[in-house]
């Protein structure tokens, strides 16, 4: 007897739950010759995601860095056990078998990489500063807060994890608007996050139209930093302007070639540093 | 008369789905501020904290001087004088909880004395609690007599009677307690102390509003309703306003007959109003805590 295939509804990932867009709308995307419907996030979904991220933030940045590392390593484990699913998703959007496999490997390795970084960020970025007075003067990094990421479009997997992992490694919570080219892969990543002990709300993944969601995130007073991966300079400028209302930290990038994401510059401390705030403490020293 | 619990909850749920946007949202939120009893009832309250709250009560948002002041500031009896001083020369009233708030379990003469002293200290309004133990045990006359005694002792202050619906168990009891309080002389009936969960809910508010409507139609006075406890978001406040309007009509939407007791609510309302003004979602970081 033929059985009916069970098709997955592609949903948003907000506050640890998979939800449809509050509007009920979807956006069609063409994947490997057939059309899929993904949830189309609205301004309100973006607002809900920011609220979830804000609520999750104190707990996440209050954990020990070592524990955050354990959790991100757990994410790598989950991705490893879902290799086939992740690779199938990439193949459905047009990657070859070899390319899909390579991308999945790179994504998992990146999670392991940032898991290792978690409890080293503070040591590496902290300084003891020489001052001409009887004080100890030390600077150390603290997470910026809620970070909104407008993720690159393609490829679908490695750039997505490469942009949000360093941000959560530093103790921030994130709202990510995934690229619209392959929402299915974004949902697959969300499923890995959901099963990886990452506390609800630390990572929120939205799919939908940039033009609709990005301005809301850029203007939102409860978002502390903005990471923009946009080819269109004019759009990026407008978002940067909107981000000035509460002096968000803004990073702007062009969308690089696919090969960039597999090269030596696609990961490292330089990806973490923009999303920490350096706090300096003066403490009187005895004579 | 028995309350149809299913119908009541259904009607409250339907009224809660009404979508209120843009201009009507702004009007609704301003009304919510005008009807608000800004409350601080914590053991750690200090005169300084009360002064700060009073400033916020008069001018909720310094960036928007056109906003109305809140209706009243609600404090413990020992802080009434402080609040009265801070609010001198303004329209904002001082409400004091009394009668061994929040339990109501103190000797009758102690409760009476407490209410009298709150009025002597300058309280314009008294929020008294009923003895729920007596009510649930069926000693209705005792409860009614106590309300009447407090009303006599605190005249001309406005008397709000807290039913603490979260402890009454059924809507029938809510209606019975509401009716009893109104007959005994309450100027307002109030849902909750805010110290018990569940506090105010839409169906309970609807049951009390219907009791107040029926009481008036049966030849009684017009009695106000105050919802309090657990109302933290602007959206909830708008839902209560809808329920009031649909049950009692436009006239009732005034601080003379409807109040919302809250502390955290004011900031959320200010955030929503600022959002309507500026077009961007707001953060708690930019609004004063007290």
Nearest CA in chain B to A47: B281
- Which domains are present in chain B? 5-286 (3.20.20.70)
Q: CA-nearest residue of chain A to B274?
A: A221
Q: What is the mean pLDDT of chain B?
A: 95
Residue A152 resides in a domain: yes
Distance CA A17, CA A190 (A): 10
Nearest to A100 by CA among A90, A108, A113, A110: A90
- Evaluate whether residue A69 is within a structural domain: yes
A11 domain residue, yes or no: no
Residue of A nearest to B284 (CA): A222
**pLDDT (0 to 100) of residue A181:** 87
A84 domain residue, yes or no? yes
Which residue in chain A is spatially nearest to B282 when comparing CA positions? Answer: A221
Residue-wise pLDDT for A109-134, tens only, equals 999 999 999 999 999 999 999 999 99
Query: In chain A, positions 157-216, which contact chain B (CB-CB < 8 Å)?
Result: 216
Q: Taking CB atoms and an 8 Å limit, are B285 and A242 in contact across chains?
A: no
pLDDT of residue B218: 94
Per-residue pLDDT of chain A (287 residues; tens, 9 = 90+): 789 988 889 999 999 999 999 999 999 888 777 788 999 999 999 999 999 999 999 999 999 999 999 999 999 999 999 999 999 999 988 899 999 999 999 999 999 999 999 999 999 999 999 999 999 999 999 999 999 999 998 889 999 999 999 999 999 999 999 988 899 999 999 999 999 999 999 999 999 999 999 999 999 999 999 999 998 999 999 999 999 999 999 999 998 999 999 999 999 999 999 999 999 999 998 76
- In A, which residues are within 8 Å of B286 by CB distance? 221, 246
Alpha-carbon distance A56 to A53, whole Å?
5
Q: Which of B232, B271, B281 to mutate to test the interface with A (most CBs of A within 10 A)?
A: B281
pLDDT for the residue numbered A33:
75
Q: Which residues contact A181 (CB under 8 A, 6 or more apart)?
A: A29, A93, A153, A154, A156
Range of the domain at A159: 16-284
Task: Tell which B residues from 222 to 281 touch A, by Cβ distance under 8 Å.
Answer: 278-281
pLDDT at A240: 96
Domain count, chain A: 1
From chain B, the residues in CB contact with A216 under 8 A are: 280-281
Over residues B135-162, the mean pLDDT reads 96
Q: Any catalytic annotation for residue B235?
A: no
Residues 6 or more apart in contact with residue B97 via CB below 8 angstroms = B41, B74, B75, B76, B77, B126, B127, B128, B129, B162, B193
Q: Which of B37, B127, B131, B268 is catalytic?
A: B127
Choose among B280, B284, B286: nearest Cβ to A220: B280
Instruction: Give the pLDDT confidence score for residue A32 in this predicted structure.
Output: 72
Can you say whether the dihedral through the CA atoms of B242, B244, B246, B250 is positive or negative?
Answer: negative
B127 noted as active-site residue: yes
Whether chain B has a CB inside 8 Å of the CB on A242: the answer is yes
A98 contact B CB<8A: no
Size of interface A-B (CB pairs under 8 A): 27
Q: Higher confidence at residue B2 or residue A115?
A: A115
Which residues of chain B does A238 touch, with a Cβ-Cβ cutoff of 8 Å?
Answer: none
Query: Could you write out the DSSP letters of every residue in A188-245?
Result: HHHHHHHTTTPPTTSEEEE-S-HHHHHHHHHH-TT--EEEEE-S-HHHHHHHHHHHGG
Question: Are A50 and B286 a contacting pair at CB < 8 A?
Answer: no
CA-to-CA dists, residue A16 to A12, A53, A55, B224, angstroms: 10, 10, 12, 42
Of the residues B25, B84, B226, B245, only one is catalytic, namely B226
Min CA distance, A197 vs chain B (Å)? 28
For B223-265, the pLDDT digits (tens) are 999 999 999 999 999 999 999 999 999 999 999 999 999 999 9
Residue A105 in any domain: the answer is: yes
Q: Which CATH number fits the domain that encloses residue A53?
A: 3.40.605.10
Report the sign of the C-alpha dihedral through residues B9, B267, B198, B173, in that order: negative
**pLDDT of B113:** 96
- The predicted structure's pLDDT at residue B77: 96
| Whole-complex ipTM | 0.85
- Taking CB atoms and an 8 Å cutoff, what residues of chain B touch A219? 279-281
pLDDT at A287: 65
Asked if A222 and B280 come within 8 Å (Cβ–Cβ), the reply is: no
B174-207 pLDDT, tens digit per residue, is 999 999 999 999 999 999 999 999 999 999 999 9
């Amino acid at each position: 007897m033929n059985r009916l295939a069970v098709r997955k509804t592609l949903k948003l990932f907000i506050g640890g739950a998979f939800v449809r867009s509050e509007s009920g709308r979807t956006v069609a995307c063409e994947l490997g010759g057939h059309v899929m419907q993904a949830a189309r996030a609205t301004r309100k979904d973006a607002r809900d995601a920011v609220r979830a991220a804000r609520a999750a933030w104190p707990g996440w940045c209050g954990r020990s860095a070592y524990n955050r590392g354990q959790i991100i390593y757990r994410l790598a484990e989950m991705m490893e056990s879902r290799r086939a699913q992740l690779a199938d998703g990439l193949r459905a959007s047009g990657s070859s078998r070899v390319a899909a496999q390579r991308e999945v490997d790179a994504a998992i390795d990146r999670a392991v990489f940032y898991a290792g970084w978690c409890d080293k960020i503070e040591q590496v970025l902290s300084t003891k500063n020489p001052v001409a007075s009887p004080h100890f003067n030390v600077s150390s990094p603290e997470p910026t807060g809620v970070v909104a990421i407008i993720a690159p479009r393609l490829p679908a997997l490695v750039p997505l994890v490469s942009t949000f992992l360093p941000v959560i490694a530093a103790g921030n919570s994130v709202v990510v608007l995934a690229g619209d080219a392959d929402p299915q892969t974004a949902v697959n990543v969300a499923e890995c996050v959901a099963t990886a002990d990452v506390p609800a709300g630390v990572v929120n993944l939205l799919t939908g139209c940039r033009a609709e969601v990005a301005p809301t995130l850029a203007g939102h007073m409860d978002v502390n930093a903005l990471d923009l991966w946009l080819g269109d300079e004019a759009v990026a400028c407008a978002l940067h302007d909107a981000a000035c209302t509460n002096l968000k930290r803004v990073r702007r990038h062009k969308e690089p070639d696919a090969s960039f994401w597999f090269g030596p510059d696609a990961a490292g401390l330089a990806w973490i540093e923009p999303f920490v705030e350096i706090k300096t403490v003066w403490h009187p020293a005895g004579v | 008369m028995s309350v149809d619990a299913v119908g009541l909850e259904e009607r409250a749920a339907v009224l809660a789905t009404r979508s209120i946007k843009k201009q009507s949202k702004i009007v609704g939120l301003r009304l919510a501020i005008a009807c608000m009893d800004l409350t601080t009832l914590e053991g750690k309250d200090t005169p300084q904290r009360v002064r700060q709250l009073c400033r916020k009560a008069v001018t909720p948002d310094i960036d928007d001087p056109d906003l109305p002041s809140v209706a009243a500031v609600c404090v413990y009896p020992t802080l009434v004088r402080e609040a009265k001083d801070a609010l001198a020369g303004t329209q904002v009233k001082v409400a004091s909880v009394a009668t061994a708030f929040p339990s109501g379990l103190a000797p009758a003469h102690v409760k009476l004395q407490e209410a009298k002293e709150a009025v002597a200290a300058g309280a314009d309004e008294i929020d008294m609690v009923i003895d729920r133990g007596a009510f649930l045990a069926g000693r209705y006359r005792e409860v009614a007599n106590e309300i009447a005694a407090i009303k006599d002792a605190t005249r001309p202050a406005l008397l709000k009677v807290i039913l603490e619906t979260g402890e009454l168990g059924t809507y029938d009891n809510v209606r019975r307690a509401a009716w009893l309080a109104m007959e005994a002389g309450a100027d307002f009936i109030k849902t909750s102390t805010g110290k018990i969960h569940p506090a105010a809910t839409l169906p309970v508010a609807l049951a009390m509003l219907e009791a107040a409507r029926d009481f008036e139609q049966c030849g009684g006075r017009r009695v106000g309703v105050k919802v309090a406890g657990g109302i933290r978001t602007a959206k909830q406040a708008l839902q209560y306003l809808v329920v009031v309007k649909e049950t009692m009509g436009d006239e009732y939407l005034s601080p003379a007959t409807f109040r919302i007791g809250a502390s955290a609510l004011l900031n959320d309302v200010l955030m929503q109003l600022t959002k309507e003004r500026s077009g961007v979602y707001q953060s708690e970081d930019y609004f004063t805590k007290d």
